[in-house]
Chain A
């Protein structure tokens, strides 16, 4: 028993030494809910009142992200506000700009996707029509938000995306292979159309906009942003530039309906499933380091070492859910008077389910690397179908019918029962029960499969 405690404590200590991955996974749901909530909340009326904005796009990249962008911006809601014209030749686009045929021109540079995935700074060129004042400004705001989302997305999904990219190398331009990615960008752009400038600075941008147009305060502040800047620096600068008017505070509104109580559970579920992967993926790290085999040779043996990894995953997932809940309450997104017993049950069940799913996948995958890749894809897929990306009520019926096969569905349903509908423990028994079952079965089967594999000498 005590060797299990030792192993989990050792792993947690290692995590705390390199916490970036987990912190991003924690901030993601908070930032996302905050942004989308601010944008779609009842206080920010819908319908912008602006005419349709024409933007010329030049794609020198022609890779994963730019393709996803092309597909995503084709969606209905987006085209109500924007008219994107993709131009093959840059010179022609520039001539059209000179003729005043569009409000702005956005150029995606060569290697946009690969550089972004490699964490290099990417420069997008944005040419604004000097004859117009407001419309190009809107484009710039939107592009800035896009930058933040892509940056956040890349920080979270960079590794799985890169792996996916490697897997599908040679498959030309078939962006239908990446529906999850498109969905993310689509949602991003919907939010982007109405979002406030503050959201731009949740993370220091990895992207710089090289804008050809002067006398613009917002632009000046944006260009001052360098990767070393803290979020605070940027916020302060931005607030000064914008005359402080935009710094809205994300408290619950008075209408009774609290959009954050809906959004946080949605996004948290996706995050927690990624955390499940993050925990089990430690098998890959320890295998590479040789420490996995070395532990197998100790008196702890194969079974206990693997159990330790599963418990670690459970601890990480539980801690993350707890932090999200506490921060959610501190921000006023979640009522502090929700059922305590119900919440503990539901949150614990979610953590177990995330752990069970991950253990199961690692137990059956050909290699840990394959497991990580498959799991990322599965989490994105489940998040789409299960209501983590688009609220279930907004989805077509045939997709709704598939939702109950996802962990997200049961997780979100139980959580919103507690946070939005104010129900008690009796009302989440069904959801928690399903999740507990998934969790315990997944953990047991995953552990059994992994033990068998290693006992047969897969490590040698």
Chain B
């Protein structure tokens, strides 16, 4: 459905997007997960035709995207990171306008506007001016505007930033619903949790490069299949490294002075490791055991934590 090939965007010396490639199939929710400044918005802007790429191509259903390719733009729905609405107009008027811009009209537009209002839960307030809405309602309308024309490709740039938990759930529901109806979704976020919940496949992006790509399970396997044990104490990295020598079932995800993140495979492996560590002269004053998550994948790939 959408295919991105070796996309690059530079601003002077600065490389914002550094040769990324991926593809997503019809009805798939594909995630771009990365911290602030990773290049998510730049990528979305190029795909939606707002920016020209320095090099590389974007094809949608085999047709090449460019800022002037209006027939390609027509099948895309774009939901910008910041809400972009006409505050003086009502939700219905906003939806009708955007539907009209994408060549919808008459009874088809009218019917679809009603459906979207229902979907985003604004039917009761549909004839009030947008400026009277709460932040969460504006967010939902912002999403709705990208859906009126039933796009085959939906581009979402961090649509849940600054949204209360309830509105977030309803936004994720609307996105799943769109995907069920065959829309391909490209979803950017810096929330691991959200990426894990929503996306069938995702790419981890940092400094404009894709570091890893796959399903959530495939990515998690990169840090091992067992448990993740985080150990804190007043040890050095060197000491910990030595202490681990007799444990072939343990891999260090990250290893620093005073903190080690370890992936432990096999039944009872964690208990054996802890007993051994405590038996040695290592000073341990905190242990945390978790199943593997994207957080650890990111740490393994970058050596940094991905924080909100």
Interface set of A (CB-CB < 8 Å, partner B): 2-3, 6-7, 10, 13-14, 17-18, 289-291, 293-302, 455, 457, 459-460
Contact = CB atoms under 8 A, between A and B. Distances in A.
Contacts, number: 77
Contact of B97 (A6, A17, A460): A6
Nearest to A291: B84
Contacts of A290: 80, 82-85
Contacts of B76: 297
Given A3-B101, A6-B100, A297 B93 contact: no
Contacts of A460: 42, 45, 50-51
Contacts of B305: none
B23 interface: no
Interface of B: 42, 45, 48-52, 67-68, 70-71, 73-74, 76, 78, 80, 82-89, 93, 97-98, 100-103, 129, 145
A190 to B, nearest CB: 40
A295 B101 contact: yes
B50 A296 contact: yes
Contacts of A301: 67-68, 70, 73
B86 A299 contact: no
Contact of B87 (A3, A7, A289, A459): A289
Nearest to B47: A297
Nearest to A15: B88
A287 to B, nearest CB: 10
Nearest to B129: A17
24 contacts: A3-B100, A6-B101, A13-B89, A14-B88, A14-B89, A17-B88, A17-B129, A290-B80, A290-B82, A290-B83, A290-B84, A291-B85, A294-B80, A294-B84, A294-B145, A296-B49, A297-B76, A298-B73, A298-B78, A299-B73, A299-B74, A299-B101, A301-B73, A460-B50
Nearest 4 CB-CB pairs, A to B? A290-B84, A299-B70, A17-B88, A294-B84
A175 B78 CA distance: 49
B84 A14 contact: no
Given A290-B80, A290-B83, A299-B73, 16 more contacts: A3-B100, A3-B101, A10-B86, A13-B93, A14-B88, A17-B89, A291-B85, A293-B84, A294-B78, A294-B84, A297-B48, A297-B49, A297-B50, A297-B76, A457-B50, A459-B50
A457 B84 contact: no
Contacts of A297: 48-50, 73, 76, 78
B93 A299 contact: no
B188 to A, nearest CB: 15
Contacts of B103: 299
Contacts of B100: 2-3, 6
Contacts of A3: 100-101
A460 B74 CA distance: 20
A295 B49 CA distance: 11
A460 B81 CA distance: 12
A299 B102 contact: yes
A405 B83 CA distance: 44
Contacts of A300: 70, 101
A108 B209 CA distance: 63
A390 B82 CA distance: 48
A460 B46 CA distance: 10
Nearest to B146: A294
A10 B74 contact: no
Nearest to B11: A457
A232 to B, nearest CB: 28
A298 B155 CA distance: 12
B147 to A, nearest CB: 14
A7 B97 CA distance: 8
Contacts of B85: 289-291
Contacts of B42: 460
Contacts of A299: 70-71, 73-74, 101-103
B86 A457 contact: no
B15 to A, nearest CB: 16
Contacts of B97: 6, 10
Contacts of B88: 13-14, 17-18
Nearest to B97: A10
Given A6-B97, A13-B93, A299-B74, A293 B50 contact: yes
Nearest to A302: B67
Contacts of B78: 294, 297-298
A10 B92 CA distance: 12
B303 to A, nearest CB: 30
Contacts of A289: 84-87
A294 B87 CA distance: 14
A290 B85 CA distance: 7
Contacts of B84: 289-291, 293-294
Contacts of A293: 50, 80, 84
A288 B87 CA distance: 12
Nearest to B42: A460
Contacts of A13: 88-89, 93
B128 to A, nearest CB: 12
B100 to A, nearest CB: 5
Nearest to A17: B88
Contacts of A295: 101
Given A13-B89, A17-B129, A18-B88, A298 B67 contact: no
A302 B82 CA distance: 19
A295 B102 CA distance: 10
A455 to B, nearest CB: 6
Nearest to A459: B50
A330 to B, nearest CB: 30
B67 to A, nearest CB: 6
Contacts of A14: 86, 88-89
Contacts of B50: 293, 296-297, 457, 459-460
A295 B303 CA distance: 40
Contacts of A18: 88
Nearest to B71: A299
A281 to B, nearest CB: 15
A301 B97 CA distance: 15
A455 B66 CA distance: 11
The CB with the most chain B CB atoms within 10 A, among A289, A297, A302, A460, is that of A297
A143 to B, nearest CB: 38
B52 A457 contact: yes
